Amino acid sequence: MKKKLNVNNFTSLLHPYPATLITTMGDDKKPNIIAVAWITPLSANPPIVMFALRRERYSYKLISENQEFVVNIPDYNLMKEVLMCGTYSGKNIDKFELTKFTKIESEFVKVPKIKECIGNIECKVLEIVDRKELDHVIVLGSVLNVEVEEELFDKHWDLTKLNTLLHLGGNLFTTNINEIKKEKV
Amino acid sequence: MKKKLNVNNFTSLLHPYPATLITTMGDDKKPNIIAVAWITPLSANPPIVMFALRRERYSYKLISENQEFVVNIPDYNLMKEVLMCGTYSGKNIDKFELTKFTKIESEFVKVPKIKECIGNIECKVLEIVDRKELDHVIVLGSVLNVEVEEELFDKHWDLTKLNTLLHLGGNLFTTNINEIKKEKV
């Protein structure tokens, strides 16, 4: 039997989503980290990623200032660090200190990336699509550089070796089974 | 050790994503179904969903004509049907016949929804954001009605009872473990 939900709760139906950590840096050169699950590829060629971002977030200010960001892919072991980055604001706290993550220099952007993550995607803002009546803007990023942990990836993540961090909502998480099914039609 | 990838392969880093089936219907009143993984909430209040859609897809024509769609959430048991919907074009084939899915009438849109899916989100197009140089457009949909299988959902999916369909890319799929972890910071 199906039941109706309040329409504002539709977001839960689309989860669990892979969690990502987005690093940003504003004019003061202090890097910040936000947890973002509402992210998806938009275009493969040219390579463009898009994600939803609240205007109230500190990283919205930082991205607006410097027009750059890095998408870092955490695995299941980094659940606590991801929740930290999603709970506190970079306005008041240094999230690299908080999480003990290691900054590494990016190749194409000034924003550093996170060493402990299994993949990093360096991006330059292509456009911020802002519709005033919505509670998030859409950030479109041109992908400039992509790196992955080599033993975990071959055309796709090797889920037999890897537990991705899947966010269910709030402080709830899960992960994938360690099996890949190849389907035929 | 990290290795570099061709930037066009960044899309694989963001998977596995929950697969969705989007139903559409054009002026000829024949409903179609497409498989979409590049979808995410954009705004909770007002409730807005967004997804990436290729202009070449038959459903792009249908959505452009009728400005409505339904996002249907399949579970792991529907892997074959999802691959069918992602492989064939509705230009040549009736996907409801192909998959044997049951059409049920929607409440707020003319497009039918899929009975066998565990959740359905009825939407009206708010806007199609089209940047000519990108290989997909962004479809923004206002959420009008949300229904879920009641024994599988309580504020979020009950993953102890449910295997979601996670798409890794191509014809590769996986699912979640049947456990939810509550993290604290």
A67-80 pLDDT per residue, tens: 999 999 999 999 99
Beta bridge partners of A33: A23
3 state SS of B41: strand
CATH number for the segment(s) A15-40+48-174: 2.30.110.10
What residue spans define the domains of chain A? 15-40+48-174
Searching chain B, which residue's CA lies closest to the CA of residue A44?
A: B8
Tokens standing for B111?
Answer: 């497009």
Residues 6+ apart with CB under 8 A from B2: A120, A147, A148, A149, A150
Searching chain B, which residue's CA lies closest to the CA of residue A160?
A: B174
Alpha carbons A120 and B29: distance in angstroms, whole number? 44
Alpha carbons A116 and B94: distance in angstroms, whole number? 47
- Residue whose structure tokens are 């954009």: B42
User: What's the confidence (pLDDT) of residue A2?
Assistant: 97
Average pLDDT on A108-114 reads: 98
CB–CB contacts below 8 A, A to B: 278
> A149 and B14 in contact by Cβ < 8 A?
no
Residues of A in Cβ contact (< 8 Å) with B41: 10-11, 14, 38, 52
Searching chain B, which residue's CA lies closest to the CA of residue A119?
A: B13
CATH topology of domain B18-150+157-174: Pnp Oxidase; Chain A (2.30.110)
Residues 6+ apart with CB under 8 A from B75: B117, B118, B162, B163, B164, B165
Q: Is pLDDT at A125 greater than 90 in this prediction?
A: yes
Q: Are A82 and A19 in contact (CB under 8 A)?
A: yes
Q: What is the ipTM of this complex?
A: 0.96
Average pLDDT on A133-154 reads: 97
Alpha carbons A125 and A143: distance in angstroms, whole number? 9
Q: Is pLDDT at A26 greater than 90 in this prediction?
A: no
Q: Tens of pLDDT along chain B (185 residues)?
A: 999 999 999 999 999 999 999 999 988 899 999 999 999 999 999 999 999 999 999 999 999 999 999 999 999 999 999 999 999 999 999 999 999 999 999 999 999 999 999 999 999 999 999 999 999 999 999 999 999 999 999 999 999 999 999 999 999 999 999 999 999 99
> A13 and B175 in contact by Cβ < 8 A?
no
Alpha carbons A114 and A23: distance in angstroms, whole number? 8
Task: Establish how many alpha carbons lie within 13 A of residue A92's alpha carbon, considering only the half-sphere containing its beta carbon.
Answer: 5
User: What's the confidence (pLDDT) of residue B26?
Assistant: 87
DSSP conformation class of B76: G
